[in-house]
Structure 1
Amino acid sequence: MFSDLTPSDFTARQNASRRPVYLLVMGFINVIGWVFSLFVLNAIPLIHWIVNGTFAVLTAVTVLLALRPRTLPFFEVVVGVVINFAMLSTVFVGLYDHPKTYDPLEYVLFVPAAYIAAFSFLGVLRGTVVCLSVFLATLVLTLGHYLPQLDTLSAFELQAFKILKLHYITSMVEILGLYGLTTFLERQLKARIQAESTARYAFIDTLTGLSNRRMFQHRLEQTLQHASEKHTGFALMFIDLDHFKQVNDRYGHQAGDELLQQISGRLSQNLRRTDLLARISGDEFAVIAEGITDDQSALTLAEKLISSLSERFDLTGTALHASASIGVSLYPHHGSTAKELLAHADQAMYDSKSKGRHACTLYSPDRSGPEQALSC
């Protein structure tokens, strides 16, 4: 179904929603890391300089990738590397030089923020994998460091060990909470995009990508109301392809669909951005051209549309020529309601057919009298 949410739609919206949160969290982590380094500058060994410097470079590269479009797959890999490297290196360095450079704030502030970064950008599945892998790795490193010497730890080290035990308990709770929250937010996002996609395709012709009959009717009513309030006018055109049934009968419906797509493209290219082109049935199109109030301007635009179809269409293995008959009515000269304008544009279109097709005709109230219908 065209109204179903596509994976690319969901991924693009999901990445867009995660990007600012991720950048904010990564910036927060980087600031914490560097402020901490400045405060304990004299106590930092060479390896700590290397760790902090590498983390800063990786963070800067990650932020630059986040600001560039079309880099998200590689960006996600870098995110995982940065988070894993930063958290593991923080634990390793803290334990390696403990207690000289150890500070529980590294764990209490840095690691939870990195968990938030992982879930906020990587999503539920990958965020869970990254956080749990880091959680287990740091837990093993910490227990492997403290347990063998538990009886000989100083009061300061025992206090640090107690803080770390509380940290790991709260980390597990945080991971579970982030898992639940991210799952809920992703479901909400998916439901919202699904609703928007369904609403969008309700007004789109799925073959050509143009507005459909429903959208055309809605736009026509809006244009009528606006023109009535502003005392202006617009042109309404009916476009019917000539002998289109023969294309389907001779070359098949696939060729007919391809021809409709190419015709839609040519017609669109010859209209203004403010004009609406809609496919209202199999081989019938309609145009709402706001601001066109005189006969000559309307016929000039209609002739431009007919001329756009004069060059042949190159289909798969087939070259075809196509033409169209166009009928035009003007508001308010040819009607004050949507029903009147549609009926008069349709009547003018049949006048074009009767003249031999490949023509455009402006509606005239009295086609047999002195006011003959104008043609392009």
Structure 2
Amino acid sequence: MIKNKSTYILGIESSCDDTSASVICNGKILSNVVANQEIHAKYGGVVPELASRAHQQNIVPVIQQAIQQANIDKKDLNAIAFTRGPGLMGSLLVGTSFAKSLSLALNIPLIAVNHMQGHVLAHFIEDENQQKPPFPFLCLTISGGHTQIVKISDYFTMEVLGETLDDAVGEAYDKSAKILGLPYPGGPLVDKYARLGNPKAYKFTKPKVDGLNFSFSGLKTAILYFLQKQVKENPVFIEENLNDICASIQHTIVEILFDKIKLAVKETGIKHVAIAGGVSANSEIRKVLKETESKYGWTTYIPKFEFTTDNAAMIAIVGYLKFINNKYDTNKTSATARLKVNES
């Protein structure tokens, strides 16, 4: 393992619709710049072709800004880390191509990063206010594209214990929001209105799935049929009961997640539990996870809000951990739209 006095890693993230660059020094963030793409809101979801075009426009200024904010010169960088996958292929190619070119120009190592590992290992960014989980720990990784319970044995040894059989939890939130007539992205809005409502106003059946796997497609259908029936009887049902509907949907989703994570703790005996991914920003999930500490004797790890959504700091920290362990990649490394959390 090598550990220089000052090791600077540039992280580049372009897996979906956010272009991000971050500089980390010895695991501590010096900058973390994110350029959002608001154009997708009017289409009700991310349009891959528009996303890749926006990345091409954003990537140079975002990287320049990240290096400038870090108060270093690009020649000070020790390696370039980039998101290899999973994600949208066109978006990934923009970040991958730029990272390869920059590493060649600066003659420094190139490090490919699994986006999902980035979400998990964001917990290891140096921060005096954040406690790092010890190995092994369980991580509930929840986002628009993933819902998994992962056993983390060390930085580079991860095992999926359970995952969704259909929709991810982020999809369940966004699709429910769409049924309610809320704009994209709807997940944060469901969370917002849920805080004002009664979580037990309406009951939705939880899917019966064996083991540690999840399913959310049936819940989405149940919500759709329930609302269609209610609106038929009262055309303004949604408007009059929006807060209670959102609270009931959120209560059901959170129960589904925690039924499984409680089972995972029971089966593995591991009581160190973390959350990661975009949906880990959800207020109810954070609240319920914190409550489990005293209720079940767990130790829980909740990431800062800025590390929940897609960002380059999480890519840079994985790049740093790989760099000090001499885990480099070559220019032949290619982007891939599909990549499991235990794959590099």
The verdict on a shared fold, with TM-score over 0.5 as the criterion, is no
More helix by share: 1
Which TM-score applies when normalising by structure 1?
A: 0.24
**Structure with the higher strand share, 1 or 2:** 2
